[in-house]
Amino acid sequence: MVEWSTVISLIGFGLILVVVEIIFVPGTTLVGVIGFCFLIAGVGLSFKYFGAEVGWIMLGSTAVACGGLLYFSFTSDIWKRFSLKSFSNSKVNEGDLDKLAVGMEGQTISALRPIGKAELNNQTVEVKTNGGYVDSGSKIRIVKIISNQIIVETIN
């Protein structure tokens, strides 16, 4: 009786971990690898404890259960309560560019690596350099404004 509970619990826990890996933790991570190892251990122990016939039956039923769980996980609407239903369509610096112009000077609030925060015309905005790094507290000048990006350079 202990053998059956060991085999079934290993396979059940392995199935749960594989589903968690695929649904909640995308990519190949430790959760999926451990779940797959539990599945192999459960099927392997069924071969050892009960012989080849029961082992093959457990292997087939594990494969069917894994496929069925994955199919149910993706086709049912059970995961909708975990999914994000709202979205944001706002953009960085939206509406902040009205009072800014090319050539305006200001000071960085954070380090620009190459993106960071700066104070221009008494407002805090996100700015970008042309690839260089700028330390916090440096004087900067607006070089160009493209869409909602403010491109700056340092003032020597």
Q: How far is CA 91 from CA 88, 111, 144, in A?
A: 9, 21, 18
Provide the domain count of the chain.
2
Q: Is residue 90 part of a domain?
A: no
Domain boundary among 35, 53, 81: 81
Query: What is the predicted pLDDT for the residue at 129?
Result: 94
Per-residue pLDDT 10s for the chain (156 aa) are 888 899 999 999 999 998 888 777 767 788 889 999 999 999 999 999 999 999 999 999 999 998 898 888 778 776 677 677 777 776 666 666 778 899 999 999 999 999 999 999 888 899 999 888 999 999 999 999 988 889 999 998
Relative to beta strand 139-146, strand 123-128 is unpaired
Residues 102, 77, single domain; the answer is: no
Structure confidence at residue 93 (pLDDT):
63
How many Å is the maximal CA-CA distance in the chain?
A: 81
pLDDT recorded at residue 79: 67
CATH number of the domain within which 113 lies: 2.40.50.140
Is 92 among the domain residues?
A: no
Q: Is residue 101 part of a domain?
A: yes
For residue 146, the SS3 value is: strand
Which residue range(s) make up the domain with 149?
97-154
128 within a domain of the structure (yes/no): yes
Distance CA 147, CA 133 (A): 22
